[in-house]
Each structure stands twice: as structure tokens, then as C-alpha cells.
Chain A
Amino acid sequence: MIYLQRNNRSRSRKTIISVGIIVGIVAVIGLVQWLFGSNLSIGTIEAGTSVSKPFFVFGKQISFATSFISSRKTLIEQNQALRDEIDGLKIKLLSFDSLAKEHEEILKTYNRSNIENKVLASVMVKPPQTPYDTLILDVGSENQASINNRVYGIGGIVLGIIDEIGKKTSRAVLFSNPDRETRVIVERTDQNITLIGKGGGNFEAEVPQEVDVLKSDTLVLAGIRLPIVAIVVDVESNPASAFKKVIARVPLNIFNLRFVEVETSPGL
């Protein structure tokens, strides 16, 4: 049998060169990232949003057009469900208004203000398109937003902070970003726990068995306003262990976010 002779030496030389090029490119990118990473990042966000903006607007128009095609029956059902929800919320709001007024009065007595400035931002890019629980927003330094300002969802739920900022765009990193640690307070018991982001709006925390945390407990950030961060959805307790695992979740769907509020002045 005749075997074709292969030029192994030439092939292995080519492989070594290719591997060398790959390693070289990674090293160059690493150096560029180290030197100019932050500046390049915001530049990319600004350029990227101008690329994605036409698609974003087009997507909005498509969803508007398809809403006309929705079946009449579904619309009637949705309408009724929303009416019921509004009625329930109206009742809740009545008690909330009086409590908010009372809270404001108490703060005034102690010379602390409850008023904070916020600007409405449209969410350009959100999870699951973004891999690390980040949002690209259409507000920037021109709208008085700045780095580390908080980002709120509907109902004053604090979602994260501004991480990178450009003139007209910014990137917000959510507290649920994987491995991100956030100190919160269990609203019912005033105990401190540290939440660790798990991505997709989920959190985990490992606390001693003695810590009083129950399902449906509200977890808030420390401060005058106590904004809600997450709701406890499960507590896994093992009698053999000294710790228990708390699983919490952002009380709104971060995959359906269309608008958020961005703080324009640092909180008190």
C-alpha cells in the first residue's frame, strides 16, 4: 500500500506560527484593555447604541403593528384583568399616599429630604441580549446622570447603578450581576445580609441559621428611603448545616424592562 508522505515539519511550523499569532493578539488586546479599557468601553457603547437604535425603533413599531392583529377575545380578557388589577392597586395606593405623607413629615422634622431627582431613561439593550445583567440606557452626562447613580425600575425598586457614562448613553450594572455583592437589610427584622448576584435578576445569600429570614420578606438598601432590592422567594435550610441559603429575586421582570428611572443627584 502506498501512503502519501505528509510534510509534518512544515505543518507543525504553521501551527506554531498560528498559535503564536493568537497568543500575540490576545496579549495586544490585554495591553490595550489595560491602558484604554474604560475610554474604549464608553466609546463602544455610544457607537453601539447608534447602530442598534434603528433596530430598536423598528422593533417598537413592529410590536405596535402586531398589537392590532391580537385577537379581540384576548384583548377583552386582558382589559378585564387590568381593570381588576387597577381597582386593587387604587385601594393600596390610598393607604400608601397617607403613609408617604406621614414619612415625609417625619423626615422634615429631622431636616432630611425625601425628594430625589430622577430622569426617565429608555432601555436600549437589556438581558438576555446582555450577558452579565447590564442595561444600556439612552441617558448620559447631558441628562445630569453620573457614575454610581442608582437606577430604579417601576415602583421605586432599585435595580443597580450606572457603571459607564457617555454624553447621551450610559451602561447600568444590575445588583443581580453574577458574583456582585450587595449589602441589604431584611425590612421585617432590620438584620443585615449580603446578597450575591446570580444573574437574571436572581440573588443568593448564605446566612447563619439564627438569622430570621422568611419567604416573601422584603430586602431593602440601607438609607433614608429604603428602596426595595429583592423579595425572598425561598429559604433552604439544612439542620446539619450552621448556615441556610436565602434565594431572592428582583420583584419585576428585568427581561421586559422598557423604561427605568436614573437618579440625577446622589441619595441622602
Chain B
Amino acid sequence: MKFLILRIAFNVLTFILIFVSPWWLALLSVFVGILLFTNFYEGFLFGYILDLFYGTPGETFYGTNLLYVFSVALFMLIALFLKKRLRFYDKWVA
């Protein structure tokens, strides 16, 4: 229950950061979320919101305009393998 509240609070904070902070801070927050929480699939939603809010049509990531979504996917794949190889990881993951 404690982790769920923490996760919801983190999601609300990240959502607000997308619109009020520099893009890199919001993206960093998503990356932290991926590392902190298991199956942080809401990161894709945040990535997509970033793409919709800031992206310009046809000029980012080979015309797909989904730069952040691909960044989140890439980081999630890296985290997937990273998490398994970190022994201390289970102690602080929520």
C-alpha cells in the first residue's frame, strides 16, 4: 500500500514536471521511475505526452515524431537487464 501511494505520488509529480520543467528533467524523472518501480509502463504514457507536447511533425526520429517513446523503450530494455544484475536492487525497489 505504501509503495502504491509512493508510485501514484511519483506519477503525479512526473506529470506536472512535463509541463513546468525543462524536458530533460521530466525525462530524467521517467528514467528514475523505471529504475525505482517494477514494470513502470506508465513511463510510455509520459514519453508519449512529451512527444505530443514538444514534438514537431516529421522532424524527429526518422519522421515518427516519437523520440521520447523510443528513449523510454530503450531505457526500459536496458533497465530490464540491469535490474537482474544488481544484487542490491531488490532492497530498494518498489
- Chain B interface SS verdict (over half): helix
A96 is an interface residue with CB less than 8 A from chain B: no
- Is A19 in the interface zone, CB < 8 Å from B? yes
Which residues of chain B have C-beta atoms less than 8 A from A25's C-beta?
A: 41, 44, 73
Q: Which residue of B lies closest to A51 (CB)?
A: B19
Question: Complex Cα distance A179/B59, Å?
Answer: 8
B66, A33: Cβ atoms closer than 8 Å: yes
Task: Give residues of chain A (16-39) contacting chain B, Cβ–Cβ below 8 Å.
Answer: 18-19, 21-23, 25-26, 29-30, 32-33, 37-38
A139 vs B4: C-alpha distance when bound (angstroms): 39
27 contacts between A and B (CB under 8 A): A15-B81, A18-B39, A19-B77, A19-B80, A22-B73, A22-B80, A25-B41, A25-B44, A26-B66, A29-B69, A33-B51, A33-B65, A37-B65, A41-B53, A44-B49, A45-B52, A48-B49, A48-B53, A49-B19, A51-B19, A55-B19, A55-B20, A129-B21, A129-B22, A131-B54, A132-B56, A178-B59
Which of A's residues lie within 8 Å of B, judged by CB? 11, 15, 18-19, 21-23, 25-26, 29-30, 32-33, 37-38, 40-41, 43-45, 48-49, 51-52, 55, 125, 128-132, 134, 136, 163, 173, 177-180
Instruction: Tell me whether B59 and A131 are in contact (CB under 8 A).
Output: no
Contacts of A49 in B (CB 8 A): 19
Residues of chain B at the chain A interface (Cβ within 8 Å) = 15-16, 18-24, 39, 41, 44, 48-49, 51-57, 59-60, 64-66, 69-70, 73, 76-77, 80-81, 84
Asked whether B66 lies within 8 Å of A29 as measured between CB atoms, the reply is: yes
What are the residues of chain A within 8 A of B53 when measuring CB–CB?
Answer: 41, 44-45, 48, 136
